[in-house]
Amino acid sequence: MTAERENRKSAAARIAAAGIAAAGLAVAGMPARILSTGAVHAEAAEKDTGAAAAGTATGQASGEKVTLRIANWEEYIDEGGWDEEEAIDLDDREGTVILGENSMIEDFEAWYLENYGVEVDVEYSTFGTNEDLYNQLTLGNTFDLVCPSEYMFMKLIAEDELKPLSEEFFDETKEDNYYIRGVSDYIRNIFDSNTINGAPWSRYAAGYMWGTTGIVYNPEKITEEEASHWALLTDPRYKGQVTVKDNVRDSYFAALGILNEEELLSPDFINSDDRLERIAEIMNRTDEKTVEAAEDILKQMKENAYSFESDSGKADMVTGKVLANYQWSGDAVYTLDQAEIDDYYLAYAVPEECTNVWFDGWVMLKDGIGDDARKQQAAEAFINFVSRPDNVVRNMYYIGYTSVIAGGDSDIIYAYADWCYGAEDDAEDTIEYPVGFFFSGDNGDPDYIITAEADQANRQLFAQYPPEDVLGRAVVMQYFDQENNQRINQMWVNVRCFDLTSISVADWGKMALGVIIAAAVIFVFIKRDDIFRKKSPA
């Protein structure tokens, strides 16, 4: 275990134990270059970014406050409060050292004032699921910038709820456009090639974090082969020892993996030239026959599971309550880190049938931004701020997830990956782990190969930067239109609550009779009360 990994674990322990009061990041160091994340980036103050001029061009007066309403996932951004021993001493070209004092939000407000000459007040809210966010929007809550998952921002695009990103946002000649200058080509290609109503995702959405879904498991009790198949979730040998996601999209995906296992694992299918496209078609089916079959599998999952969960599965794995947990890769990293604190070693597997490659992305809402150029400028500036390489490291360190940003001309993010997972020089059991697909577009690039401890082949490094064979079976979950969404939601109600279609005619009759009797009893008591009131003396 390297000192860097021990250091990284201390942050995970702090998050779990304290719930962390919002504080912030600052960067400290000695002779090395110091990135000040508690104040304004030193380099930003030295150059004319053109930002103040942009503000004037939109009619924004210097000193006029802008209120920016942001909604993000819970615990999904750096809140600061790092201890000095948590300093990240990177072996990048400039010897960067990062340590934090202020929250990311506080740092953005200071940075924006310095660079744009305008005070911005961020009203920051959180949500627990994509559906929670959508319900808030439906009920009238107004936000300017939100960060849903890909299927939800696809839905919002289809419903014409989003404001397109400006042309200026995509100008790679602007030094402060950290997103477009630094986003991984792997991610960029996905956002450019996936479309809704003829428009690419990238017209409306800028990526934030990404990853896969898979199984966190106890390797002393469950083999890697067992954990590498979705069928583990219905395996009666592990009844009451696995957890399943308490949301219809992820659980439905796993059910389809089980339903289509034979086809997905057939040699002809695996060796087909269009394997990825065929997986995507299979895993996004919503016809009645498929939904009915998936419902049966989900009911088996329910009977076999310790629980349906959205967050508690991490603690259940760390405490040993369960042996396997269906998990997002970022939470898998967090879980493995937490368990490691107690010398309890867990692993992560991605099913051989297929996996979901997911993305969370920033989108601007029409109801919030409207035609307000000041708000749009602030919203796009926020996306760029959290995409700045040092801030990317802060967020990745704090939450355990993987940013879509590779860094562009900066090697800070790759240096951070090596800081986390690079083996000590005297380590004997090591592997060469390529990550060039993400950082340079070439997985054989010798500049992007991490020499890691051998167990990282199925642990944190594997979860954060999946190998090419995993990406070759990783597909996006498409959004459901209204008809299919209604069918899927009714199926989920049948699984999680009760199945209306399974109630017999006789049972319906009994329930109807019960309702009639109850109504009659209530009627009698009401009439009786009226009679007593009439008889009472005035």
HSE of 390, CA atoms in CB hemisphere, 13 A: 29
Higher pLDDT, 136 or 40: 136
Question: How much is the pLDDT for 530?
Answer: 58
Does residue 516 have a pLDDT over 90? Answer: no
Does residue 55 have a pLDDT over 80? Answer: no
Question: How much is the pLDDT for 535?
Answer: 55
d(C-alpha 145, C-alpha 10), whole Å: 31
Question: How much is the pLDDT for 93?
Answer: 86
In a domain, 92, yes or no: yes
d(C-alpha 148, C-alpha 131), whole Å: 9
Could you tell me if 99 and 87 are in contact, meaning their C-beta atoms sit under 8 angstroms apart?
yes
Higher pLDDT, 415 or 519: 415
Question: How much is the pLDDT for 510?
Answer: 60
Range of the domain at 57: 3-195+360-419
DSSP-based three-state secondary structure for 199: strand
- Locate 290 and state its tokens: 């498929």
Higher pLDDT, 253 or 49: 253
Model confidence pLDDT, tens digit, residues 89-133: 998 888 899 887 899 999 999 999 999 999 999 999 999 999 999
Cα end-to-end span (Å), the chain: 86
Comparing CA positions, the residue from 166, 121, 147 lying closest to residue 386 is: 147
Whether residues 44 and 168 share a domain: the answer is yes
- Locate 222 and state its tokens: 């469950």
What mean pLDDT, rounded, does the chain reach? 87
CATH number at residue 185: 3.40.190.10
Whether residues 66 and 185 share a domain: the answer is yes
Does residue 47 have a pLDDT over 80? Answer: no
Question: How much is the pLDDT for 223?
Answer: 98
In a domain, 451, yes or no: no
Under the banding of pLDDT at 50, 70 and 90, the label for residue 529 is: low
**419, 435, 450 — which closes off a domain?**
419
Does residue 39 have a pLDDT over 70? Answer: no
d(C-alpha 403, C-alpha 416), whole Å: 12
Question: How much is the pLDDT for 6?
Answer: 43
d(C-alpha 331, C-alpha 423), whole Å: 23
In a domain, 183, yes or no: yes
Model confidence pLDDT, tens digit, residues 459-472: 999 999 999 999 99
Whether residues 396 and 513 share a domain: the answer is no
| Count of residues making up the chain | 538
Helices (H), 342-481: 366-369, 373-386, 389-399, 412-421, 436-439, 460-464, 468-471
d(C-alpha 260, C-alpha 239), whole Å: 22
User: What is the model's pTM?
Assistant: 0.83
Model confidence pLDDT, tens digit, residues 60-82: 445 589 999 999 999 999 999 98
Model confidence pLDDT, tens digit, residues 427-475: 999 999 999 999 999 999 999 999 999 999 999 999 999 999 999 999 9
Share of the chain above pLDDT 90, in %: 75
Radius of gyration, alpha carbons of the chain: 26
Model confidence pLDDT, tens digit, residues 241-280: 999 999 999 999 999 999 999 999 999 999 999 999 999 9
Whether residues 377 and 510 share a domain: the answer is no
Q: Give the amino acid at 457.
A: A
In a domain, 297, yes or no: no
Question: Could you give the angle at the alpha carbon of 64 between the alpha carbons of 62 and 65, nearest 5°?
Answer: 130
In a domain, 267, yes or no: no
In a domain, 80, yes or no: yes
Question: How much is the pLDDT for 64?
Answer: 85
Question: How much is the pLDDT for 85?
Answer: 87
Residues 6 or more apart in contact with residue 535 via CB below 8 angstroms: none
In a domain, 41, yes or no: yes
Model confidence pLDDT, tens digit, residues 162-195: 999 999 999 999 999 999 999 999 999 999 999 9
Whether residues 408 and 507 share a domain: the answer is no
Does residue 140 have a pLDDT over 60? Answer: yes
In a domain, 54, yes or no: yes
Least confident among 225-229, 245-249, 280-284? 245-249
Whether residues 125 and 16 share a domain: the answer is yes
**352, 385, 419 — which closes off a domain?**
419
Share of the chain above pLDDT 70, in %: 81
d(C-alpha 117, C-alpha 314), whole Å: 43
- Locate 206 and state its tokens: 């800028």
Q: How many domains does the chain have?
A: 2
Whether residues 82 and 190 share a domain: the answer is yes
Higher pLDDT, 173 or 9: 173
- Locate 299 and state its tokens: 């009911």
Does residue 476 have a pLDDT over 50? Answer: yes
Question: How much is the pLDDT for 537?
Answer: 55
Q: What is the mean pLDDT of residues 374-379?
A: 98
Residues 6 or more apart in contact with residue 510 via CB below 8 angstroms: none
**419, 444, 459 — which closes off a domain?**
419
Whether residues 415 and 531 share a domain: the answer is no
DSSP code string of 47-63: S--SHHHHHHHTTPPTT
Question: How much is the pLDDT for 32?
Answer: 33
Question: How much is the pLDDT for 10?
Answer: 40
